[in-house]
Amino acid sequence: MGKWVYEFAEGDASMKALLGGKGANLAEMARLGMPVPPGFVITTQCCLDYFRDGRRLGEPLRREVLEALARLETTMGRKIGDHREPLLVSVRSGAAVSMPGMMDTILNLGLNQLTAQGLAESTGDARFAYDCYRRFIAMFSEVVLGLPAGPFAAILEQRKAASGAASDGELTAPVLRDIADAYLGLVKGRGGRDFPQDPVEQLLMAVEAVFRSWYNDRAVIYRRVHRIPDDLGTAVTVQAMVFGNRGRHSGTGVLFTRHPSTGSPEVLGEYLGNAQGEDVVAGTRTPHPVARLGDELPQVYLQLMESARRLETHYRDAQDIEFTIERGQLFFLQTRSASRTARAAVKIAIDLAEEGIITRAEAIGRVEPEHIEGLLHRGLILEDSSRVIARGLPASPGAATGRVVFQADEAERRGEAGERVILVRPETAPDDMHGIVQAQGILTSRGGMTCHAAIVARGMGKPAVVGCEALTIDLAAGRAWTEDVSISQGELITIDGASGQVILGEVALVEPRLDREFGELLAWCDQVRRLGVRANADTPQDAARSREFGAEGIGLCRTEHMFMTPEGLPLMQEMILAEGEDERRQALERLLPMQREDFKGILRAMAGYPVTIRLLDPPLHEFLPDVAGLTAELEAMVSRGGDPAGIGRQRDLLRKARGLAEVNPMLGFRGCRLGVVYPEIYAMQARAIFEATAELVKEGVSGIRPEVMIPLVGLARELAILEELVRRVAREVMASSGVEFPVVVGTMIEVPRGALTAGELAQHAEFFSFGTNDLTQLTYGFSRDDAEAKFLHHYLRHKVLPDNPFAVLDEAGVGQLVKIAVELGRKARPGLKLGICGEHGGEPRSIGFFHRAGLDYVSCSPYRVPVARLAAARAQLDEQGGKSRERRGRRPARTTGRPVN
């Protein structure tokens, strides 16, 4: 028979998968001798069994829970349900992976009409007892009984107004007892049953409610956003209550051992006197800085600071600590690795390594690729400070502009439609998660740096400004205002999560400033990684930016973008309209100098590094206006009696556009097929590349390394024809210029047949570059635009697909084609260079696959180059770690990456 329940003394930090993060860390703190209220943990396996068994608690589990409860009663010297001195407990969720605020908690469990009175008598504090009771009824009713929170909050506000209390803390014992009675009546009226009075029944109902919260909407959304598996389950921690609401020497707070926004080695904490934990996290009251505790309870403050340092040293990471003070005695209710912004994640990792607490390899592992993306957020350029309408706390950095919405449902609706929105609320709650996901940023009028909005925004890399007390929000009216300005739903605002500013309208953005720690971390990554990292860039400006971010060349330069300029497009259209080869060659001769200058700019910017230039890929009709637009314009010209020559050219355009139109352009006359049928097009492009190379060499620019890539090849004969064309043009340019240069020709693998016959293609290619965007479309038979617009979201929501295959490489399908091409290609040509230039080249999980598959480099957009450098290093470290585990106890083998200490 399995064991379902563990007391804290039976667990430790290594048991997160079984006890959840909260339970395992409470057990670890207890093992360290820290002041932790006693308790026990119901395992994550019980949660999974609960759903497997039809949402029913099995009898063996019930028995173990009651046995553990009896032992807890013995430890505490109090019994649950005792009328004279009752034991109260908290019932809290806790998965193996932190999901802050997404699942449910019940505090003060064990109270009923008799035990509330007994608590009042045993403590001599009726106000405290009935404050706990009204809190418990409201929380239990919402979490366990499923009643809405609004009516309970309304009763509280009514009683506060009637009694003249400005805050909850000013309510007297009789008023609190009256509120509790009103809550009980509300439960009877709304729920159709009396509030449960048996504390054991309360406990078992609460355990079930926490299990059920594993599949509540906000938890499901959070797991989907953060890619947390559904099959982990949540543990349930049952713990003796300690009370922060027992007067002026009591309170509750949250502490970060390092600043969660900047990463600086300073404690950031918040504290509320005479309060319980949910008051801080919910943001319903704005807390005080924890330093204030040093004035009010100096000995407790010193103990708190010493314990915080101890926990950080023990866990070797910045910690997020929840604590409660009951009548001058400190207790710890949770510690976990702190959520942090991107900048903080990098600084904390670097600092911990430089302090000797972790290794450099561990520092690389502590920074997620998403953190690097967050560092590349742009900031604000604000020239008119009069547009600043309010300031709050800078809870999560980055700038965001969007339309104001006040409800999470509306944020979700508009966000899914592609509209940029800012979610504006008095405070956010876990139930707002679906709206937060779709919002560009979050603005609240209440809460502190450790409130729900701040923690979730930092974890998701979204800008947030919280505790903006100058802002009054009327959710019902859909309006917010300050002393000077009123804002209605739909108005455009900008928030700056770095400064806390709220600004009317849209504001210009500035490129990110990358600090020392960012460069240091990426330098460590470069010492480790095996995969090269290139960039996809089409202009000299993109190329220069790529180098700033550490790109080691260009893996994809798309030549078609050069034809879309105001100067190039008319010449391209003239070439398309040509009636024969001679006319087409004349138009191409005029395009040649433009292409040559474009290539010179890019090759110069990347001197010393390879530049892979893809010859023309899209179908020719993409350079012409659409048929419907041409038809309408022609009719208008004729009706106006326009210039006959202009009308004639319009008719030619329309005729050609109709002739080039295709039922399925993605599978049509494009890529290498254009080069085979119209070789003069590819010959012009190759000549422009090689003439640019020769001119740069003559100018004294060294290290010019063009690579010519033939797109959409499925047949070896296609590639053989075009390889010979390119090499012939190269020989002609070398002969006419007197300059010798290397000629490198390769192909994109983006057609499944190309992957399956890679051995044949390798006879004519010195490199393969996987075009995984088209390869994914052709493998699935999906049109990307149609799939993403019409059904892919349904597939993802209903788990038909685990991920969007255009965002994360499909290893089981597309990945197998990549592996086949790698094996066949290298068997035919052992020195074959292999890369990937689709969007997957910048996606961290996909990069891990490409590392394992044996590719030489990835190529991605310039702004994802730093992400790819980190992901490639982590892939190398994962491989070394796996090999180390396999070899444990045997001699070490040589690794392909350079060692990192």
Buried b / exposed e along 630-653 (16+ C-beta atoms within 10 A): beeebeebeeeeeeeeeeeebeeb
CB 129 within 8 A of CB 117: yes
How far CA 170 is from CA of 138, 153, 161, 242, 570, in Å, comes to 19, 16, 11, 21, 77
Cβ neighbours of residue 517 under 8 Å, at least 6 residues apart? Answer: 263, 346, 347, 350, 351
Report which of 210, 211, 518, 479 is spatially closest to residue 343, judged by C-alpha positions: 518
Instruction: Using CB atoms within 10 Å of the CB of residue 324, give its burial: 0 to 12 exposed, 13 to 18 middle, 19+ buried.
Output: buried
Q: Is 840 a catalytic residue?
A: no
Cβ-contact 183, 59 below 8 angstroms:
no
Give the HSE-up count for residue 637: Cα atoms under 13 Å, Cβ half-sphere: 16
For CA atoms 355, 360, 362, 363, give the dihedral sign.
positive
Instruction: Give the N- to C-terminal CA distance of the chain in Å, as an integer.
Output: 45
Q: Which of 377, 452, 621, 851 is catalytic?
A: 452
Q: Which two tokens stand for residue 536?
A: 């996809």
Side chain identity at residue 757, one-letter code: T
Left (φ > 0), alpha (ψ -120 to 50) or beta: where does 110 sit? left
Partners of 399 in the β-ladder: 496
Of 46, 525, 672, 837, the catalytic one is 837
What's the CA gap between 77 and 253, in Å, rounded? Answer: 27
Half-sphere exposure of 342 (CA within 13 A, CB side): 25
Residue 797's contacts (CB-CB under 8 Å, 6 or more residues apart) are none
> Is 837 a known active-site residue?
yes
Of the candidates 533, 697, 738, 736, the residue with the CA atom closest to the CA atom of residue 604 = 697
Q: How far apart are CA 500 and CA 466, in angstroms?
A: 8
**Alpha carbons 651 and 637: distance in angstroms, whole number:** 11
Strands 421-425 and 479-481: unpaired
In the block, tokens 């994550």 appear at 44
Query: Which secondary-structure segment (H or E) carries 305?
Result: helix 298-315
The backbone torsions φ and ψ at residue 317, rounded to the nearest 5 degrees and listed phi first, read -165, 155
> How many DSSP H helices and E strands does the chain contain?
35, 31
Which residues are marked as active site?
452, 837
